[in-house]
Amino acid sequence: MPEPYETWNRIFTKASKQGEAALTTVERTIYLANRFVIDLELGGLTGALYNASHVLRPTADALQAIGERTAATIVREAADLLEPLLQRRFHTWKALLDAAHLTERLEPWDKRLTAKSEAMYSKLERFTTKHYQ
């Protein structure tokens, strides 16, 4: 059985070569959850939300599926505030965050989630091992 990171790499490669639509339900769950955790680590919550802005609710569903309820709740709350504004044109991501009244929430949310990133990886590893053949 491959290591979870090998599976993640295989899924990322499939998504980049064939598109996200080619992923199975389990692969999409792994892909979205993994991408969110990586983006959270590299760019904080602001970066993770920016990169997932076109798939916020599916990302929240993926996080919920791996057992990460706190992150799923935060992403859903952000989606509730961001999605109504995503069709409008903003000159910057910060302007969109300000219009959605998210700016003041980001720091406490970011601290909560950043502290859990190692646990998120563990949950993703367990999910991958259990559900991916």
> Which pLDDT tens digit goes with each residue over 57-93?
999 999 999 999 999 999 999 999 999 998 888 999 9
Indicate whether 133 pLDDT > 80. Answer: no
Q: Which of 80, 117, 77, 17 is nearest to 9 (CA)?
A: 17
Q: Name the pLDDT band for 30 (thresholds 50, 70, 90).
A: very high
Q: Which two tokens stand for residue 120?
A: 């998120």
pLDDT digits (tens, 9 = 90+) for 104-116: 899 999 999 999 9
Mean pLDDT within 19-25: 96
Per-residue b or e along 82-107, where b marks 16 or more CB atoms closer than 10 Å to that residue's CB: beeeeeeeeeeeeebbeebebeebbe
R_g over Cα of the chain: 15
Indicate whether 1 pLDDT > 90. Answer: no
Q: Which two tokens stand for residue 98?
A: 């300000």
Domain ranges, ordered by start, for the chain: 4-124
Report pLDDT for 46.
Answer: 94
